[in-house]
Amino acid sequence: MFYPGFRTFDIQTSDPQCKIHGVVGGSGPPVLLIHGNPLTHVHWHIVGLRLAERFTVVATDLRGYGDSGKPRGLPDHSNYTFRRMAQDQVDVMADLGFKEFMVAGHDRGARTAFRMALDHPDKVQKFASFDILPTHHVLTNISREWALKSFHWFFMAQPYDIPEKLIEGKEDYYIVQKLTKMGIGKGGFSKETLAEYARVCTPENIHGVCEDYRAAATLDFEMDKADFEAGRKIKCPAAIFWGDQSHTEKFFDPLKAWPQYCENVVRIRPLPCGHYPAEQVPDEVTQELLAFFGS
């Protein structure tokens, strides 16, 4: 429905507990597209179809999201770190025959791609980020205003199973409020995509999301802090985009922040949208990625 002409797959990762669901189509150099919370690979469908005219496009569901595996979180949350999520995606690309590839990520997908570019510099050729600041930067530059708008970072990170129980039975209410009213820079979704995101918003998905945020506040932060203090940066060409109506614009300074984490930022600019560029301004996103990945 969303990716006509693409092939659907469910690929076993190096974690026996998790398969990754996704689609692949087009021809040319490989590009991996990774979604954020609380979305799925469907988030990229407009942009992905257009990129497939020049690239082989792979769009996946992160573990814990969509139709990918949703293993129970380990006590230390290590099976939901961005390092583990990045390894999932590297496993998928290897299974599809791609030893090297370009990647674009939004929200949690951008954090996954960020860690992937650090952990697998031999595989990630180019890195594009949409509407995030690095986790380390966010958690060391928190303001009261940002925290009020982004309270889910801390709500979802509470110990098991407090947030899970509070959302249980209210998944439909949660997903609509999350995507259309909570925070800033919301909206821009079609009825079809909203219905798809509601379909996969299950108790198992909510647990996966909570484990994602628990890992981010603990293990992921410590990994990023160690890399930052060691001066370790992403070396491949990077393109950084964010919505001029989003929290990234209103509460941070991406132009100053990102060069602290990437050695080679070749494109960096806001887009005329909120937090969901690929669905709110797909034309601009497509143009930027064609220019970046095609150069």
* Contacts of residue 233, Cβ cutoff 8 Å, sequence gap at least 6: 260, 261, 262, 263
Query: Does 88 qualify as catalytic in the annotation?
Result: no
Cα atoms in the 13 Å half-sphere on the side-chain side of 224: 27
Query: Does 107 qualify as catalytic in the annotation?
Result: yes
**For the CA atoms of the chain, what is the radius of gyration?**
17
* Cα distance between residue 151 and residue 263, in whole Å: 31
Run of H or E residues at 68: none
* Cα distance between residue 123 and residue 87, in whole Å: 11
Instruction: Find out whether 272 and 244 touch, Cβ atoms under 8 Å.
Output: yes
* Cα distance between residue 22 and residue 66, in whole Å: 9
The count of other CB atoms within 10 Å of the CB of residue 79 is 19
Closest CA to 94 of 29, 14, 18, 33: 14
Q: Identify the active-site residue in 88, 91, 107, 212.
A: 107
Give ∠ CA 199-174-219 in degrees, rounded to 5: 95
Our measurement of the distance from residue 270's CA atom to the centroid of its chain's CA atoms, rounded to an integer in Å, reads 18
Closest CA to 215 of 41, 82, 49: 82
* Cα distance between residue 32 and residue 36, in whole Å: 13
Q: Which residues does the annotation mark as catalytic?
A: 107, 275
